[in-house]
Structure 1
Amino acid sequence: MELKAGRPGLVDELTGPETRSLHRQPIRVSGGIRDRRNDWPRRYASRLFYTDVAVIALTFAVYSVVALDEISEPVSWPGGFVLPYWGLLVFVAVFWLLGLDVIDTRDRHIVGHGITEYRRLVNATLAVFALLVAIAFFARMDVARSLFIVALPVGLILLVTSRWLWRQWLRRHQRQGKYVYRAIVLGEPAKVAHIIGQIQRTPDSGYIIVGALTPSQDHQSLAGVPVVGGLTSASAAVESLSADTMIVSSADALDPKAMRRIGWEMADRDVDWVVAPALTDVAGPRIHARPVAGLPLVHVEFPVLEGYKRFAKRTFDIIGATLLIAVFSPIMLVTAIAIRVDGPGPIFYQQTRIGRRGREFGMRKFRSMIANADDQLASLLDVQGTTDQPLFKVTDDPRITRVGRFLRKHSIDEIPQLFNVFLGEMSLVGPRPQRAAEVALYDDDAHRRLLVKPGMSGLWQVSGRSKLSWDDAIRLDLYYVENWSFTQDIQILFRTIRAVIAPGESAH
């Protein structure tokens, strides 16, 4: 068995004679290969632990200052001993840390990615304090209410913020090629290329694809990654490329027996074994694995967009829009004056857009273009050559006014859409509403973005804004529709704030 490449000489570049024979020898794991290759998740989790300890200590230090009068008295209960209040705080802090550990908030498979980490933080914190309330009630303990009114929200906010800051640190290093998994993808060429493309599209995914293994040697590379051998070369490829992860897709030549044998080889080398199903753009909470008759069946839940979830989203929109209208009132007044001074034309601009289920509504914006700018759109798109794409964006648009350029860069022109949100025509988060002419160019897949209300901000707005192609924009919109959750909305809103404050080059 020899590691073969898609072109002559590639094996010699990757391996030496000793390396090529490694897969024929039993691998003895002393101390674990993972200690040398991908030990960073354990070190990262340990940093999270020490940060959690510091955050909880800071929380109770702040609480002790704020509620000094209330905690001056000891805690007592009928038939029990008298406990100093600082002793109760120490107990709650330790219990809180245990709760974070029991619910696996530092699990190496979820930290640094997605919303599961944040969700577990919230669930663990609420569970700990709910249990404390129950204990205090049944034991008739005289516990200050401020412990739950102050310490709970302050601690939760600080915990989430600290995890977010660590995530930004991790993202920055992953873009530099540090703190990543070195992965090899195994499977049919088309499926391997798709997996590589999806991962490469997200530079801070935590994975670097270093090689590909396919049943045929018809390709020298796939999506810019070298094909280093066939399906039987997995062990040698792992050693030669210093990989620590094997991502397996399906292949006709890979029967269950062969896959099990490769899995054993990866286990001997302590290499992570990751199976990539044909499903794409499915969020983790929708996926549930359940073994049936020895088969690891994956159950995928369909998105639920009705019922109490829709009611909760609408309630959040009304409250959020009302508060934001009050906060942004001074900015709206200054903006209206600036538009009036800049030149002739109305202050506000209203355009018919397509909302949920194809309903039309008038979307409100501050005018950022010259008067009658819509009359020039068709000719500008024709010159640009994008009349057949359902994303009517003009590069270096000459119709934008001097004030309008600033308004657009910082998304100030979108603020009047808060009234659309309040009236129920839009949501704070969702796919951006488009014109009827754009919707007319939709294919069947794109029509699914009309299953939810359009939003002021959305997933593609915080993932590249105007730099994204239509294919990337629709992929992100469909991901949002298929995987909607309240937590994801909150996450997008926080990313929106960052994108507005520091818009970058992609905003125009």
Structure 2
Amino acid sequence: MTSKSLPLVDLKADLRSAPKTRVRRGLLIKILRVLTLFFLDTVAIVAAWNLAVLYGTPFDAAWTERPQFIILVIALELGVMLARGLYKPGGDRRNFLGLIKALSLSEIFLLLITFIYEPHSHISRSTFLLFWLFSLLFVCTGRYIFDVSTKIIRKRGAICYPVCLITDDVNQDVHLRFLQKENCYKVLHIDNPKCLDRSNREQTFEYLRSQGIVEAFVSWSAIKNRLYVCWNFQTNGINLRILPPESEINYPKSILGMADEVHCMAIPAPIIAGGDFWVKRCFDLVCGLVLLFLLSPVYVAIAILIKLDSPGPVFFQQNRVGLHSKNFKIWKFRTMVSNAEKLQASLEAKNEIKDGVLFKLKDDPRITKVGKFLRRYSLDELPQIFNVLLGEMSLVGPRPLPTRDVERFDSAHFIRQEVLPGITGLWQVSGRSNIDNFEDAVKLDIQYIENWSLLLDMKILLKTVQVVLHKTGAY
């Protein structure tokens, strides 16, 4: 009885097996970065300890006389910083607040160890205090110099990670700007999701290997139905970073945790709910009163100029749509002729906003001579401080728009009406009148709402002063 042999088939390697055994790409650069940081931190800690011992109150103690103790100091300080993730790539190495916390915590551990090791000896408080201050100064300075040096070198094209971008054609520009903003990647290849199809993926990964690609940025829409390609990236030694959809809302205050072995994003509630907003409101009131007092001579001067330039009232009131789409009267210095609103209908055809939601015209014939000057420096907006004091507006927030513009909103645009409007905002400091597409302006307003904090308000106010002085995009 003869046995039939099975037909030979062309067996491909297991999906999880690498085409060729290799070390993960880009690992050498990462190791060199960590070793450099270790070296800089060690030098900073040794220098801080020696200076502290030199200038601190001298005591005959083992922890200042024995050289072995400095090894303990270095190991403890570096160990705490390592445990707190301060040697990870990206923004972690320049997390100066995290460095201060780590060094302070290691100082407490050091004091505890010293007390246990020599419970009956005197401890030089000045030495430990000086060491803490010097270590903060030297380590943070070293990190700052390292960061600045790295940025300078990367601007010249060195030590950048070669990466590829795989995303839909419509999102390529957005994702490419994101990668260029990071200033540590060199985008060598851009492709659409079809390159990950079963029929194309072998050719794609062969090309990525030949280009020495270290990391691949792939949009979620490109990979959600092709999850098996994750193994291809892994076995080719390429880090895979999945980009969220452009419409995905970013929650900056979220915390990524685990719930029953499942990754779960949590947004914790503050101790006092709504407390930040009331601090913002108090800030608006105090700053509004101070500005009103300081700028009162400017108000008088502008009022006189407006009266001398053209007939009509000094102030101009206009219906605007504010919080919860409720109308209110906005105050401005008059910069146009008295019948400006009646003339707008005849100028609609010249509107420079592409989608037509807003009305903007660079050389608007209705603007007076004094009005051009006031608009150039945004002085016409000063009376809106009255709106801030009345609680109708805030110093920072999405700009309140006329009824004519809000009537042309899509449903997604109304999210900006759920927060208090402002005199200035992220839109105004990100290009002002140079933004010619309302969708781009709405994205900036939504970005402000999602990322809102008192610190962000401060930054926008400072940036507003800079933008106004440079007359950026104003007309």
TM-score band, normalised by shorter chain: 0.5 to 0.7
* Aligned position for 1:391: 358
TM-score normalised per structure 1: 0.64
* Aligned position for 1:247: 217
Matched residue SS, 1:375 = helix
Larger radius of gyration: 2
Alpha-carbon distance between aligned partners in 1 of 2:364 and 2:407, rounded to the nearest angstrom: 23
Would the alpha carbon gap of residues 277 and 422 (structure 1) be closer, same or farther in structure 2, given more than 3 Å must change?
A: same
Percent identity for Structure 1 against Structure 2: 28
1:359 partner letter: K
* Aligned position for 1:26: 20
Q: Deviations over 1:335-361 (max 9, x none)?
A: 334333433333322211111111222
* Aligned position for 1:14: none
Matched, 1:184 2:168: no
Instruction: Check conservation: 1:356, 1:452, Cα contact below 8 A.
Output: yes
Q: Deviations over 1:42-91 (max 9, x none)?
A: 49x969x89xx8xxx9xxxxxxxxxxxxxx9989xxxx9xxxxxxxxxxx
Q: How far is the alpha carbon of 1:26 from its aligned partner?
A: 2.2
Alignment of 1:114-263 (within 5 A): 121=96, 182-186=162-166, 192-201=168-177, 204-206=181-183, 208=187, 210-215=189-194, 230-248=200-218, 249-251=220-222, 254-256=225-227, 258-263=228-233
1:192 partner letter: D
* Aligned position for 2:91: 110
Structure 2 unaligned blocks of 5 or more = 1-16, 49-54, 62-75, 116-122
Alignment of 1:340-419 (within 5 A): 340-384=307-351, 389-419=356-386
1:244 partner letter: V
Match of 2:430 among 453, 457, 463: 463
Alpha-carbon distance between aligned partners in 2 of 1:452 and 1:41, rounded to the nearest angstrom: 47
Alignment of 1:72-83 (within 5 A): none
Alpha-carbon distance between aligned partners in 1 of 2:461 and 2:77, rounded to the nearest angstrom: 28
Alpha-carbon distance between aligned partners in 2 of 1:216 and 1:393, rounded to the nearest angstrom: 43
Q: How far is the alpha carbon of 1:440 from its aligned partner?
A: 1.1
Corresponding residue pairs, total:
424
Q: How far is the alpha carbon of 1:375 from its aligned partner?
A: 1.8
Q: How far is the alpha carbon of 1:327 from its aligned partner?
A: 3.8
Match of 1:299 among 265, 268, 271: 265
Instruction: Check conservation: 1:365, 1:416, Cα contact below 8 A.
Output: yes
Matched residue SS, 1:28 = coil
2:194 partner letter: P
Alpha-carbon distance between aligned partners in 2 of 1:373 and 1:172, rounded to the nearest angstrom: 54
Instruction: Check conservation: 1:171, 1:204, Cα contact below 8 A.
Output: no
Highest relative contact order (Cα 8 Å, sep 6+), 1 or 2?
Answer: 1
Q: How far is the alpha carbon of 1:27 from its aligned partner?
A: 5.1
Instruction: Check conservation: 1:431, 1:458, Cα contact below 8 A.
Output: yes
Matched, 1:431 2:414: no
Match of 1:479 among 433, 437, 447: 447
Matched residue SS, 1:345 = coil
Instruction: Check conservation: 2:168, 2:222, Cα contact below 8 A.
Output: no
TM-score normalised per structure 2: 0.67
Instruction: Check conservation: 1:170, 1:179, Cα contact below 8 A.
Output: no
* Aligned position for 1:65: none
Alpha-carbon distance between aligned partners in 2 of 1:349 and 1:110, rounded to the nearest angstrom: 47
Q: How far is the alpha carbon of 1:451 from its aligned partner?
A: 0.8
- Output the aligned Cα RMSD: 5.5
Q: Deviations over 1:410-438 (max 9, x none)?
A: 22222222222222111121111001121
Alignment of 1:60-71 (within 5 A): none
